Amino acid sequence: MNILDKIIVDKKREVVLKKSIIPVSQLEASVFFGKETISLSHNLKNSNTGIIAEHKRRSPSRSIINQNFTVEEVVKGYENAGACGISVLTDGKYFGGSLDDLLLARASVHLPLLRKEFIVDEYQILEAKAHGADLILLIAAVLTREEIKSLSEFAQSLGLEVLLEVHNLEELEKSIMPTLDMIGVNNRNLKTFEVSLDFSKELASKIPNEFVKVSESGISSIEAINELKPYGYKGFLIGENFMKTDNAGKAAKEFIAQL
């Protein structure tokens, strides 16, 4: 069993437990549930830089990245730096995140917020909406076509945008459907953790133009972004590169200024 399989097994257990504690009615009563969505896809289409900056404390591939910042400091820094949107990791066991991080981010900034999570159930989409997210991530590697369809339709019914993440052509081909807004190519193989921009380059021409193209993971230089832009990528998700510094917002500001 690889790390991704383990995460999904744990996630399904976690969702069952949460459903037994917090009813859907409580999520729907949240002050953020009726909030109008801020569109990340619109921001990316109209940006010259396309940076989606990530709040990430740790990861399975790199135990601790940074535990020293408050969420507020990081996301305000990203907003001041000119990021198009912010990704907030909410998985606790493997990434040290929580839904509270999403809530704090929402209270701090006016940028589109992505709930970065291993989504396997509609309940998690309701959680995302209740905690102020504007879009969700669906990972093709862990979902069937039918699941991608039903989850993306449900997200859109709540006014949330959908970023679908793929790693290879097979995942891309099974996933293309009108209920997606953005398609992200993860340059990190989630099974081996090997990173290569070739994943993004090879899949670029296979992604239909109606979807905003996003390149994720392993982007640590201006050169990498300049290399990917000719392939039609409008969004670039960067987490570790900013979070591993002493000041994530400052690192993002310097990076974006160079772009």
d(CA 227, CA 221): 10
d(CA 143, CA 146): 8
- Cβ–Cβ under 8 Å, residues 56 and 95: yes
Per-position DSSP letters for 48-76, written without gaps between them: SS-EEEEE-SEETTEEES--SS-HHHHHH
Catalytic, 12? Answer no
Q: State the sign of the Cα–Cα–Cα–Cα dihedral 184, 189, 190, 195.
A: negative
Catalytic, 240? Answer no
N-term to C-term CA, the chain: 40
- Cβ–Cβ under 8 Å, residues 86 and 54: yes
Q: Which of 11, 41, 54, 200 is catalytic?
A: 54
**202: Cβ–Cβ under 8 A, 6 or more apart, which residues?**
169
Q: Which of 59, 79, 87, 116 is catalytic?
A: 116
The residue written with tokens 């990203």 in the block is: 78
Q: Which of 186, 200, 215, 241 is catalytic?
A: 186
Q: Which of 175, 217, 241, 253 is catalytic?
A: 217
Catalytic, 216? Answer yes
Q: Which of 56, 129, 213, 253 is catalytic?
A: 56
Per-position DSSP letters for 109-136, written without gaps between them: --S-EEEES---SHHHHHHHHHTT-SEE
Catalytic, 35? Answer no
What is the three-class DSSP state of 225?
A: helix
Catalytic, 66? Answer no
Q: Which of 127, 165, 171, 240 is catalytic?
A: 165
- Cβ–Cβ under 8 Å, residues 143 and 114: no
What is the three-class DSSP state of 187?
A: coil
Q: Which of 79, 117, 127, 216 is catalytic?
A: 216
Catalytic residues: 54, 56, 116, 165, 186, 216-217
